[in-house]
Every structure is written in structure tokens, then in C-alpha cells.
Amino acid sequence: MKSLSIFVFILVIYLNLSAQTDESVKKNYQNAFNELISLQKNPDTISFTKAVYITENAYYNGQLEFGSFINGIRLLAHYSNIYSTKYRLSYKANDKSKIALYGAIFKIMTDTIPIMADSLSEIFFHIPYTYDFNDIWGDINWEDMFVTKLLVTHKGNCHSLPFLYKMIAEQFGINTYLALAPNHIYIKTYSEDFGWYNTELTSGTFPLDSWLVASGYIHLTAIQNGVYMKALDNRQSLAICFTDLAEGFKRKTKKAEDDFIIDCCDTALFYYPHYVNAMILKAETLKAKYEILTSKESKTDFEQTQAKELYNRMEQIYNEVYQLGYRSMPKEMYVKWVQSLQLESEKYINKSININSK
């Protein structure tokens, strides 16, 4: 089967990571950092797909072949195109063709779809991508956050699922926008008929904004400051890749205090100043540096001064994060919040969205 052959190389990399020295890991990650910087130079031609590939390839020791990776995305775009042209939508506005593609990508990702094989003699079924509750923040295995893992296993989370949707849409040159909520990423798109609407890949629905604020952890201040529920532009979306790169480096090297992490966070914040995830990661890195210094039995005057400066910088960032409206959402509450969309769908689903085929 065509899809199987495309993903074979990805699966080999996914299951067989080779050991590396600290020096080679740092070199791979520095190269990836430089590549992301290059992508940022022209915001109109930023390839989000390439950015995601760069971050995941760094973790895979530079062994993830771009051709195999992009072919997996193109195959899904091919399926989406077939679906969008075969089925008519009960939608009449001028942007019907674009909405048809949005709907087709959504269906490919959330439903079982019959696909005619290249030989035209058989039909196989493309199975949907589902939410994996086993390791939703990559605490056990950072690869669980990857699109690569999602392509291979058809199981992902609120990080990889919206990433994949955006990457498929990018193949058609149509705009989709990542948006943030506490511990969460979803998709925003625009329709001439019903305006901005939310696409939620974790549950396969189109939730109202009321669902996003139902948890009580999204303050109005955070919305006003663009922390949450904002449609991110190309550069702001790429800022997420810088923090992903930093997180991968931290997991790979076990060096939570490394300045490379701070460099990634500072770069992310240059393009998205109110990106609280980058702010928090930077504060955590400063805390790790502070704890190393203060753990010494005897400290020089310089080290004592340095420790005090680190603590003050860390405290300043945490205070700024709080002023922006960020509130920590317990993991148990997050899981219940995600499940609420399925359990109380009548309450939270946007019924005005009409992209069904007929």
C-alpha cells in the first residue's frame, strides 16, 4: 500500500534512535535553531511544515529524511483533495472551494474514509487520527508530541493534531491559524458565511468560544493580551517551534539549565512577546541555573551575586506572566476539560458550522 511505503522510513527512525555525544547533540540543535531563524526572515513564505520537520529532525539526530516526511503530508493532502472534489457541500458563499478543503482535511483526520487505490481496482480505508490520553504532554516520551509519531501510529494530542491539520492546509496554500488555550492548541479558520470558527481535532468538533472559557482558567486579561484564543500569524506560529526545539533539547541532554534553552525562548518572545509558554520555560531554566549555584556548599561573592540576579530575573518573569492573565491549569482539570466537549457536545458545539457533504 502506498501510504505504508511512505511511512516505512519514518517508522525506522521513530523506533531506532542512535546514541550521540553531547557535542553532536548541541551541534544538531544549533543547526536547527539557525534553520528556524532563516525561515523567520520572510513571514509571507514561512513553511510551518518545514519548521516542524526541523524541530523533530533535531531530536532524531538528523536522521529524519525530509522527502519521506513531506510525502506523508502530501499524501494526506491528496486524499483531502479527492474528498473535497467528490462530495458537494451544502455551503453557498464565494469561498466554497476553500471551505470544502477545510472540511475535507477535517474529515480525513477525524473519520474513516474510503480511498480508491492507484490501480483503481480496490478500495482501502484511511483510518482517522485519535487522541492519545497516555502521555498527553510528552512527560514520558517527548516523541509523543511529534507529528512523526502521529503519522505512524494515528494517535496524537492537542499539539500534533492541530499541527498536522495546518500542515495539510499549507499544501493547498490556504490559511489556517493556530490558537492557544491553557495547555492546549486548536485551529481557527475564517468563513465568509459564518465568520471565525474553531476546529478542535482532539474531539473532532467545532466548539464555541464558551467551551474554551468554561474551565475558568482563561481570564479576560489573557484574552485581551493575546495570550489565549488569538489567531496566530506565521511568525507567532513558528515561535511555538522554537519552544518545541528547546524542550526537545532539554529532554535529549537532561540539561535544564543550558543557555541554548534561553536562546530559543528569547527568540520565540521576539516574534511573539506574550507567548507565556516561552516565558515560563525561560523562568524554569533560570530556576535550574539558580538551584545549581545555590546547591554549592561554598560560593564565591560572584556566584552569590549571580544567584541573586537569576532569582530576580526568574521572579520578574513569573510576575509578568501573572499580570498577562495566565493561570496554571491542573493536568487533571485539563483532561476533564477536553472530555467535556464530547460529554456535553450539545452545550458547546457551534451548530452554525455547515461543512457537511450531501
Three-class secondary structure assignment of 118-131: CCCCCEEEECCCEE
Q: By percentage, how much of the chain surpasses pLDDT 70?
A: 91
The pLDDT value given to residue 19: 56
The overall pTM is greater than 0.85: yes
DSSP string of 328-345?
Answer: ---HHHHHHHHHHHHHTH
Sheet strands (E) in the chain: 113-116, 123-126, 130-131, 155-156, 177-181, 184-191, 195-199
The pLDDT value given to residue 136: 84
- Determine the average pLDDT of the residues in 263-281: 98
Is residue 1 very low, low, confident or very high in pLDDT (cuts 50, 70, 90)?
very low
Is residue 17 very low, low, confident or very high in pLDDT (cuts 50, 70, 90)?
low
The pLDDT value given to residue 342: 73
The pLDDT value given to residue 69: 95
User: 39, 101 in Cβ contact below 8 A?
Assistant: no
- Determine the average pLDDT of the residues in 255-282: 97
User: 265, 242 in Cβ contact below 8 A?
Assistant: yes
Checking if the pLDDT of 7 tops 60, the result is no
Q: Which residue has the higher pLDDT, 8 or 282?
A: 282
Q: Please tell me the number of Cα atoms within 13 Å of 93 on its side-chain side.
A: 13
Is residue 88 very low, low, confident or very high in pLDDT (cuts 50, 70, 90)?
confident
The pLDDT value given to residue 42: 81
Checking if the pLDDT of 28 tops 50, the result is yes
Checking if the pLDDT of 213 tops 80, the result is yes
Q: By percentage, how much of the chain surpasses pLDDT 90?
A: 63
Tell which residue, 64, 53, 49, 82, has the closest CA to residue 169. Answer: 49
pLDDT digits 0-9 by tens, 160-212 = 999 999 999 999 999 999 999 999 999 999 999 989 999 999 888 899 998 88
The pLDDT value given to residue 43: 77
The pLDDT value given to residue 2: 47
Enumerate the β-bridge partners of residue 181. Answer: 184
pLDDT digits 0-9 by tens, 121-158 = 677 788 899 988 888 888 899 999 999 999 999 999 99
Q: Which long-range contacts (CB under 8 A, 24 or more apart) does 107-112 make?
A: 107/80, 107/83, 108/76, 108/79, 108/80, 108/83, 108/168, 109/161, 109/164, 109/165, 109/168, 109/201, 109/204, 110/201, 110/204, 111/204
Is residue 329 very low, low, confident or very high in pLDDT (cuts 50, 70, 90)?
confident
As given in the structure block, the three cell numbers for residue 4 are: 505504508
Checking if the pLDDT of 22 tops 70, the result is yes
The pLDDT value given to residue 56: 97
